[in-house]
Structure 1
Amino acid sequence: MLLKTYGAPIEEQIAGLIHDVSHTVFSHCTDYISDADSEKEQNCHDKIFDEFVRKSEIPEILKKYNLNLDYILDNKNFPLKEKDLLDLCADRIDYGLRTAIFHKKIKNGKYFINNLLAENKQWVFKDFESAEKYAKLFLNLNTKFWSSLSLTVISRNVGDFLWHALSKNYISKTDLYTTDKIVLEKIKPHIKTDSKLSLLFDKMNNKGSFRNNPKSYDVIVFCKSRVVDPLCLHKGKIKRVSDIDLKWKSIIKQESKPKKYFLEFGR
């Protein structure tokens, strides 16, 4: 809807619509499965996106409407839909506002949407004030939720649980593209007979303590950190928040690094 509202071409709207189709069960928790190797970037879904789409029914649907699959799969064609951090993109705006509303950080997203422009295929706030507010809101969400210690622990525990289930053939990698419920129903019968699985299941359900302890830890865990440096109109020119507020430049330099936690679990 965001892309459509701001006049993106139909190809970009379709690219936005399908951009998350390769997400697995438990979403980014699968970045913590031992062979995923994507804790810091949380991009295991992106790595398989192209292949996933090509093996789905999507190519035939696009062909029916004379739409070019290769063009739609190339993010370079759609800068409103997808850009690397620290830039804004439709996905980042969308999940940022949805998370903020869900956690009651804001009542709705109207203020930010009403202050956004799509200029020369890039997102630009109408003024520094609204850009700064969004940047700080996004940072708060990152600190409190997306890269927090508690969410990192949950992600790691779920990843360990799934990895053990995969290694024991309780589930297959194909199952990861079904639903959370289906995967859990396949694994649960083995909990009573597999003591390690039982322990991992309890940890996954927060039955046990943990703390961040660099001096004595069981495992080092990383988490992707998300921070943005939006563009805005300022004195007749397009500037980044960090160009206007030098303190923000220092903040994003630090906060854009993956979070590193030293997890010690209760005995």
Structure 2
Amino acid sequence: MTIDDAIYGEHHIDGVLAELLQSKAVQRLKKIHQGGASFLVNPTWNVTRYEHSVGVMILVKMLGGSVEEQIAALLHDISHTAFSHIVDHVLEEKDEDYHEQIFMDVIEHSEVPSILQKYDYDYRMIEKWEQWTLLEQPLPNLCADRVDYTLRDLYTYGMISKQEVCSFLEDVTVHNGQICLQSVQAAEWFTEAYYKETIDFFLHPLNSYGYYILTKVLKEALRKNILHVSNFLADDETVLQMLRNSGDSEIEKMLSSLHSKVELEENRAEYDICYKGGKARLIDPCVYKNGKMQRASVVSPFVKQCNEKAKKQLQQNIYLKIQNV
């Protein structure tokens, strides 16, 4: 089968990867939005976990990753619940890792193990994340997961151009199994892009508002036994339909306030919503040049400055006053 990806173009996929792509567990990700509640407050913020998962798989392939690592890449988000990370807020998972906690259970209750066995792969190989050095890396390193969601969101939402994406990808290289860049310029560009994603997009007032309201809705639905935690393993639309069919006036009122015409003002003195800042998620790509590997912040004052500014911004609370719903 041929996949025409918005970021990486056409790629031929066959064998075990093609069969996994067609599985119910992977197809379900087409109905899970990457941005949680973002699609409810802005219909154009509509990237799905499926698009991202396929993209990460292709990027790992482009970087020379093994078929095994491509499998891990395709499946890495398979256990994301409806509304993605919003469920971490609902369940008060401070590390935002609920999908990781349930990962193997979701895999084992899907057709994935039998598909992998058919091609002589043991599904338990996926569990050893430390071996997938292209797919996952701790911050501040680059990894395929982090690179894809940054490029995909920003390109889809018109915040970067296709030419910028292509130029950046040409600069990406792999050294000792780790993704790095060949020029300081590419490191500076990606650092700036990453903070457009994690600050300008993730913490956009409308996005913060959507997260806050939908978290309240889901907590209330759990409290009233309208939903159970197991329902989150369905998809966004299924859970929304359950909420709409509940007949609960409070939930209906909150859901009706999730739309694109909400007017918000950042106001520390008078606010309706305080969205708490979390841990500073900083990026500092490695630059491999002339046989030498260095952090971008060491060779670029711009990257260092970006990180200092982002650290302050990411730790601050967001105070929003609702002007009009």
CA distance in 2, matches of 1:64, 1:143: 43
Query: Would you say the 8 A contact 2:274–2:319 is kept in 1?
Result: yes
Task: Please identify, of 198-207 and 74-83, the stretch whose mean Cα deviation from structure 2 is larger.
Answer: 198-207
Unaligned runs of 5+ in 2: 1-57
| Equivalent residue runs for 1:36-55 within 5 Å | 36-38=92-94, 41-55=95-109
- Equivalent residue number for residue 233 of structure 2: 177
CA 1:51/1:91 → structure 2, altered by over 3 Å: closer, same or farther? same
CA distance in 1, matches of 2:295, 2:240: 45
- Equivalent residue number for residue 212 of structure 2: 156
- Residue identity (%): 27
Match of 1:12 among 59, 62, 69: 69
Alignment deviations for residues 169-226 of structure 1 (CA, whole Å, 9 cap, x no partner): 22332221222221122211334xx332133113323675544333344453235664
CA distance in 1, matches of 2:258, 2:221: 13
| Equivalent residue runs for 1:1-267 within 5 Å | 1-33=58-90, 35-38=91-94, 41-104=95-158, 105-108=160-163, 109-191=165-247, 194-205=248-259, 209-222=263-276, 226-256=281-311, 257-265=314-322
Q: Count residues in correspondence.
A: 262
- Letter of the 2:227 counterpart: I
CA distance in 2, matches of 1:234, 1:113: 16
Query: Would you say the 8 A contact 1:202–1:208 is kept in 2?
Result: no
Larger RCO (CA within 8 A; separation ≥ 6)? 1
How far is the alpha carbon of 1:266 from its aligned partner? 5.3
CA distance in 1, matches of 2:298, 2:132: 25
CA distance in 2, matches of 1:44, 1:221: 20
Report SS of the residue matched to 2:318.
strand
- Letter of the 2:246 counterpart: H
- Letter of the 1:190 counterpart: S
Alignment deviations for residues 29-82 of structure 1 (CA, whole Å, 9 cap, x no partner): 22321x2333xx433322322332233332233233332333321110111100
Alignment deviations for residues 215-255 of structure 1 (CA, whole Å, 9 cap, x no partner): 34445323566442111124541111101124523432452
When the two chains are superposed, the root-mean-square deviation of aligned CA atoms in Å is: 2.4
